[in-house]
Amino acid sequence: MKRIYTLLLFALLAGGARAARAEVRTEDVFGKFKNQVIQVRILEKSSGNKAEVGSGFAIGASGLAVTNYHVVSSLLWQPGDYRAEAMLSDGDTREISIIMLDVAHDLALIRISGKPLAPFKLAQKLPLKGTRLYAIGNPRDLGLTIVEGTYSGVLEESLYEKLHFTGSINPGMSGGPVIDGAGNVVGVCEATEGNQIGFLVPERFISGMLASAGPEIKAEEFVPDITKQLLANQESLVNRLSGSPLAAEDLGPFRVPGRLSAAFRCWAKAGEEKREPYTTITSACNTDDNIYVKESLLTGNISFSHYLLEGKGLDPIQFSALEEYYSRMTGSHGNNFGIHDEDMTDYECDNSMVTTNGITFKASLCLRGYKKIKGLYDLSWTGASLDESRRALVSELDLSGITPGNAEKFLKRYLEGFSWKK
């Protein structure tokens, strides 16, 4: 009998807990926390019209707030053309100033003038996968809204730590808080891939900023600060990737550099056309992450591809024409798309043969520099193997936002990753 009472007690407690969870209603969360969320507006100075809008939220003491770096970036790069303001949930507008930036994690710490808003608390630890979360922000400038979603864990295939949020994040919500039912900030809305796939900056990076926040940054300090951060970031990235043995994988008779770390996504594809006198197999890896520097400039990406070509139905000169076609296709610097002349120099290239572990490539090595971020460069390498007359490997490597010293270190390691399969 005693056992039955105990079971009943447990059942009542469990039911109560479920009821407590069910009591968190979205409208209550919205009503309770909406006044702590702001709309960050970047205004074109001469017309006073909105150029960009994002979201933000109050955090810490003395009127501090957090938003995404990409929301305020045009203000940093073109301070003469834009100004920024915060619009509160009651429609009141306040001036904002930038205190600190974390470019790699797309965060900006700002100060809102006037009476401080009630701040959010940080969650301190990550919730369990499947926990219900709420994103608050201003999607497409349509007014403050709340979106329900679930926490789907830490994104493993990413160079820069991100959280996966299953919920609708839309443009304009960038910089807004994603909170649990108690109002603790779990992450900051950053990006979406559509279909309820959203990415958040983990709250731990906010804690880091709050701990080292200083006075307002002067306009002339922004670019040196961004440069310093990007240089430090690529240094730590190359060290991280160099720390473990280079992963190699089989591709026909070759061993080629493979998934260098969990942050790389790799895909392979066999050529579909059976009527051709040659066959192709493509294997490609890349990091999906880009660091947003400004609207026309993304950096911090690493990608490489390998093409195995076999042309049994071709004579050697025809096969070299095929190989040449593939090397030109891969070495055409497709990542130039969207890059403005004012941001990057033109590529400078050098063609020569390189031999690594018995494989000789005819290769092209190209470098271009960032005009406004001194010390950072993009590297592009394309190689076509020259060892067999009807079978070849064409490979390309693209590194963006790297110092020449680290690029050299990475390229040497990458080249040493090629060998013949034993």
Helix (H) or strand (E) holding 359: strand 359-369
Residue 68 CB neighbour total at 10 angstroms: 26
Min CB(296)–another protein separation in Å = 13
| The CA-based dihedral angle spanning residues 307, 313, 317, 322, taken in that order and rounded to the nearest 10 degrees | -30
- CA angle, residues 374, 69, 165, in degrees to nearest 5: 130
Q: Whose Cβ is closer to another protein: residue 99's or residue 366's?
A: 366
Q: Whose Cβ is closer to another protein: residue 168's or residue 395's?
A: 395
Q: Whose Cβ is closer to another protein: residue 111's or residue 368's?
A: 368
Helix (H) or strand (E) holding 246: none
Q: Whose Cβ is closer to another protein: residue 186's or residue 238's?
A: 238
Which residues of the chain form contacts with another protein (CB under 8 A)? 273, 275-278, 311, 314-325, 327-328, 331-333, 336, 339, 341, 344-356, 360-369, 371, 377, 379-380, 382, 384, 386-389, 404, 407-409, 411-412, 415-416
Residues 6+ apart with CB under 8 A from 314: 277, 278, 322, 390
Q: Whose Cβ is closer to another protein: residue 203's or residue 398's?
A: 398
SS (H, E, C) 196-220: CEEEEEECHHHHHHHHCCCCCCCHH
Q: Whose Cβ is closer to another protein: residue 26's or residue 389's?
A: 389
Residues 6+ apart with CB under 8 A from 218: none
Buried b (16+ CB within 10 A) or exposed e, 210-239: beeeeeebeeeebeebbbebbbebbeebbe
Q: Whose Cβ is closer to another protein: residue 196's or residue 360's?
A: 360
Min CB(317)–another protein separation in Å = 4
Which stretches of 179-301 are DSSP H helices?
A: 204-211, 222-242
Min CB(81)–another protein separation in Å = 22
Residues 6+ apart with CB under 8 A from 61: 116, 119
Min CB(291)–another protein separation in Å = 21
Q: Whose Cβ is closer to another protein: residue 89's or residue 318's?
A: 318
The separation between CA 36 and the C-alpha centre of its own chain, rounded to angstroms, equals: 27
Min CB(408)–another protein separation in Å = 5
Q: Tell how strand 184-194 and strand 121-122 pair up.
A: parallel
Min CB(227)–another protein separation in Å = 15
Min CB(364)–another protein separation in Å = 4
Min CB(102)–another protein separation in Å = 28
Residue 405: CA atoms inside 13 Å, Cβ hemisphere, count? 5
